[in-house]
Each structure stands twice: as C-alpha cells, then as structure tokens.
Chains A and B, each alone.
Chain A
Amino acid sequence: MDCVSCREIIQRHIDCELDDGQVVEFQKHLSFCADCAAELQGLAAAHGVLQATREVTVDVPPGFADRIMAAVESQPEPSTFERALATATGGVLPGRVPRRIRYYGYYGLALVAVAIGLQHKYGHRAGEDEVRA
C-alpha cells in the first residue's frame, strides 16, 4: 500500500467501512509511515471533536417560541388540498423526491419512450404486412 491509497483508506477507516484484510494492510503501512499515522491521528481527533459536539444544545434566543407562534398565527390555515397533500405524502414535499427514486422515474420514462418508438416503427410495418396479406 502506498501513501495515496492509505489516505483514502484512512477516511474509510473513520467511516468503519474496512474489512479485516484491509485493516491488516492498513496497519502494516502505518507501522512504518509516520506521515500517514499522523494523518490518521489528526483526522480521528477532528472526527472525535465533531462527534462530541452532538451532546451540545445551543441556547435558543429569548422569546423564540413566541416568535414561532406569531409566525404560525400569521399563516393562513392549510387548505383542504394542502392537508390532503401532506397526508398523502407523509409530510414530504413533492419536490423532494430522492435522487435515486427520481432516476427510476427517468429510466421508466425512457423505456416508455423507446417502447412507443418501437411500436410506431414495427407496429406500422405489421399493419402494412396485414394489408398486403
């Protein structure tokens, strides 16, 4: 393993994505490469700091809930359509369709377009054959 691969592996190690074999290779490299070992320690420390930040709750500004409620009061009641849409989508905005689901939609549309094209081309020819027969 060279240092370039090791830097990539370090990130995957922090994400706990390495298998046992990769860990052995990785440790072997770290045992003689001080630069990569320092990189690992630094990244692990930064990662640890960020994880520890989870425990912190930021103090909300005074009157925060009052301002939220005032904003809610100033909103018109959701229409029947909006309530129905929220119920139907489980609260997910229509524009927030996950990328991979959207791609399935695109693939589906592409398949339909190809199917229509084939139908147009060969279906027409089949019709001509029928007339000829």
Chain B
Amino acid sequence: MTPSNFPDHTDLPEPSPHDLEAATAGDREAFRRIVERYQGMVYTMAYNLLGNHVDAEDASQEAFLRLHQKLSGFRGYSTFTTWFFRLALNAIIDYQRRERKYGALPDVPEPVADPEAEVLRRAGYATVMKALADLPPDYRLPLVLRDLYGLRYGEISDALDRPLGTVKACVHRGRTSLRLRLQASGAIDEEA
C-alpha cells in the first residue's frame, strides 16, 4: 500500500542519510531528531483517526516504537516519509483495533497553522473534528483515510483488512453522515 497523495500535503524534508544510518545503528540522538521531525505528522494523523488526545499520544508512541524496531527495514525504495507514513498508519490502525475505544468525544485543539481554505475557516477545525469523532468508527476511519489522506479504496481495504465493497459503502455513508452533522452544526449551509 502506497499512500496516494500523502507527499502532496506535507512539506516535511527527509531526514539526513546520516541520521537514518546512525539511528539504524542505535544512535539515540539521531533517532530523537527523527522523532522531532515527524512527531507533528504522526500525532496529527493519530488525532484525526482516533479523535482524542489520550489515544492519539498512545498510538503515536506505538508508531515511533515500531519505527525504532523496523528502521533497518527501510530500503529507500520510496521516500522515508512515505515509508514511515505507512508504518505509522498501520500502528495507529492496530492500536484502534486493539483498544476498541469507540465513540470517545474529542477534546478539541486549536490548529497550529491557519488553514487557507475559506470553508474550513468558517467551519472551524474543532467543529469538523467533533463531527468526525461523532461518526461511527466503521465510517470514520475509511472516510478519513479516503478524503483527508487521499488513499485509494484498495489501499484502505488492505490497511483495514476489510472488503473493498464494504470500504466504499462505509466511505459513502460516512460522507453523508458527516454532511448532515456539519449542516446541523451550521458549519455548512443547509442548501449547500
């Protein structure tokens, strides 16, 4: 599974080859620099998928522990960011599957970056995350992976280990549910 358009929405520079090599050899400082570079990406992904800070931190920690164990498996066939995105995504999905903490309401943060999109400025990140967190997890995960991270349906089916048709149906129903929630909260127009 290769994330379809993940590299399109990150400006993260790749870690230096020296840091990668040193971290693989067990250099803790080099590994720390990688953690600091990617913590925002992983934490945001975990928060978007899980909907609350406690789970986001625990799942992110698992993602970095898995990175520590698997770093020697990075062969450079893709960028490190793409490879680690997949590893972190699997770690977060495994965490969600294991913990089964469904339906937790999010404690909403203020975004660090002010988004350009007018629609999001109007709706507010907190409102969007609240609407997302209120969705059943069976809808939320496929929907976030599809519409937020741009994964293909086949990639989502592989990542979640669910049939392709089920994934499509969940994304479609998730979009409809999200639309109704956003309209109910006034984030988007009733007519829109």
Contacts and interface: CB of A to CB of B under 8 A. Distances in A.
Interface of A: 11, 14, 38, 41-43, 45-61, 64-65, 67-69, 71-73, 75, 77-78, 82-83, 86-93, 96, 98-100
| Interface pairs A-B: 10 shortest CB-CB | A91-B73, A52-B117, A52-B120, A91-B70, A86-B73, A46-B179, A98-B158, A56-B111, A50-B147, A45-B188
9 contacts: A11-B175, A46-B178, A48-B119, A55-B117, A56-B113, A57-B44, A68-B35, A73-B28, A91-B74
A77 B77 CA distance: 25
Contacts, number: 166
Q: How large is the interface on B (under 10, 10 to 19, 20 to 34, 35 or more residues)?
A: 35 or more
Contact of B57 (A50, A64, A82, A99): A64
Interface in B7-64: 9, 26, 28, 31-32, 35-36, 39-41, 43-44, 47-48, 53, 56-57, 60-61, 64
A88 to B, nearest CB: 8
A122 to B, nearest CB: 37
A38 to B, nearest CB: 6
B81 interface: no
Given A49-B123, A53-B120, A69-B28, A43 B176 contact: yes
A42 B192 CA distance: 5
B70 A54 contact: no
Contacts of B157: 99
Contact of B109 (A59, A64, A90, A98): A59
A115 B75 CA distance: 38
Given A51-B147, A55-B9, A91-B74, A46 B175 contact: yes
Interface of B: 1, 9, 26, 28, 31-32, 35-36, 39-41, 43-44, 47-48, 53, 56-57, 60-61, 64-65, 68-75, 77, 83, 87, 90, 109-113, 115-117, 119-120, 123, 125, 128-129, 132, 143-144, 147-149, 154, 157-158, 161, 163, 171-172, 175-176, 178-179, 182-183, 187-189, 191-192
A58 B40 contact: yes
B128 A53 contact: yes
A-side binding surface: helix, strand, loop or mixed?
A: helix
Nearest to B187: A49
B110 to A, nearest CB: 7
A50 B179 CA distance: 10
A111 to B, nearest CB: 22
B189 A67 contact: no
